[in-house]
Structure 1
């Protein structure tokens, strides 16, 4: 079976558009997931009354329900009660909801890894909780959180393939559509793999470099 390179040239604009959509939605979703994760981990770390219970319920739902179910609820369920969201907004909210649960666990573990003696020292010199977070806890927790944070970023980018369930034309859905039209399975899957490599390979290299830098800053080797 020959490989049709002319077909790849012809459909390349479709993959360029799909690649941009995938990167855009993943980037926005990860950004908001990080913000949600940090907020939840801070609430858990300081054991803020009432909010801690709400966070626990959210984390259980976020981590124990598939992204596809969450997207179906947003895209098909909410219109039943008069709330209609665009496909891309549903994708961003779903990725944020799912990712926030996983990011919260990573950051919480990072906070708890900070030495208690340093926190007590900070309190002894009169630092407030906000100052402790800014000057003592967050800088150190960041170095502990980098590996898990990187793994979650890669996981969430790959989860964008689920967006095909609500007709977002990201890489996977574009590939499925082109396969159905032209029956060029090998070529379409080849372009799908290349598309994800373009996104993930630079990210993996950057995260590897970042992890080495923070480890060097902490341990000196």
Structure 2
């Protein structure tokens, strides 16, 4: 028989701690995206370089990132490399795992975006006296990022949700980890995780709305 007694006051009293955890969640997600975008640009360059070794490296990274569970990637960053005497903190392992995943997905998005840009764009830059690097930086790269903007927004949301996997490697300072610890202390499972779900939902919705508003300013023309 259903006889559960809700005690929202106990859960809401822990809201400040959960919000502190949400800040750590955002920190990990933002760092993983910032580093992931830079790595994805490098991987895209390797993929299109025509050099077999670099192409193989980029393809291997993308295939692993896109075709294995994110949990596996986080585990390898924490437990896998520990077999070789390399030890990372839970925070660092989670950041590495999510960054690896982000870079793989974004590299494929960037490659698709580049294919949508005509080669005449780069040639036009060269005709103006630009070097190949300058033509890519000032002409091709801005267009590539514009085309890949919405997939990047989706990846940011996914990065936020992936932070919840950090609890499997001992991460307890992010939103999910804090909620897990509070649950062990109070046993208010439904209330605490319901509040955590609302916080995750609000964060992702704010990011989506902010991204759309930013797009209207960045891509007006």
TM-score for both structures, normalised by structure 1: 0.89
Match of 1:168, SS state, is coil
More helix, by proportion: 1
Q: Name the stretch that deviates more: 130-139 or 195-204.
A: 195-204
Matched-pair contact (CA < 8 Å) for 2:11–2:188 = no
- Aligned-pair distance for 1:49? 4.3
The residue number in structure 2 matching 1:92 is: 95
1:178-193 to structure 2, matched below 5 A, reads 178-193=182-197
Q: Which of residues 94, 114, 120 in structure 2 aligns to 1:111? A: 114
Equivalent in the alignment of 1:177:
181
Distance 1:213 1:16 in 2: 30
Distance 1:112 1:127 in 2: 21
Mapped to 1, the partners of 2:179 and 2:201 lie a distance apart of 15
Quick check: 2:11–2:191 contact (8 Å CA) kept in 1? yes
The aligned counterpart of 2:220 is 216
Taking the aligned partners of 2:21 and 2:113, their CA distance within structure 1 comes to 35
Deviation at 1:2, TM superposition (A): 5.5
Whole-Å separation in 1 of the counterparts to 2:89 and 2:219: 42
Three-state SS of the structure 1 residue aligned to 2:129 is: coil
Q: Across the two proteins, how many residue pairs are aligned to each other?
A: 217
Instruction: Please identify, of 145-154 and 170-179, the stretch whose mean Cα deviation from structure 2 is larger.
Output: 170-179
Q: 1:86 deviation in Å?
A: 0.7
| 2:10 matched residue in structure 1 | 7
Alpha-carbon displacement from aligned partner over 1:47-104 (angstroms, at most 9, x marks no partner): 3442111111111112112121122222222222211111111011111111100111
Counterpart in 2 of 1:18? 21
Q: Aligned pair 1:55/2:66, yes or no?
A: no
Deviations 1:100-148, CA, capped at 9 Å, x for gaps:
0011111122222112222222233332211111221012112111111
RMSD: 1.9
- Cα contact 1:45–1:111 (8 A) shared by 2: no
In structure 2, what is the Cα distance between the partners aligned to 1:50 and 1:207? 36
Asked whether the equivalents of residues 22 and 175 of structure 2 are also in contact (C-alpha less than 8 Å), the reply is: yes
Identify unmatched segments of 5+ residues in structure 2: none
CA distance in 2, matches of 1:34, 1:156: 12
Report how far residue 178 of structure 1 moved.
2.6
Match of 1:148 among 151, 171, 178: 151
The CA deviation at 1:34 is 0.8
How far off its partner does 1:159 sit?
Answer: 0.9
Matched, 1:204 2:204: no
Q: Describe how 1:18-57 pairs up with structure 2 within 5 A.
A: 18-57=21-60
TM value normalised by structure 2: 0.89
Name the SS of the counterpart of 2:171 in structure 1.
coil
| Alpha-carbon distance in 2 for matches of 1:74, 1:108 | 26
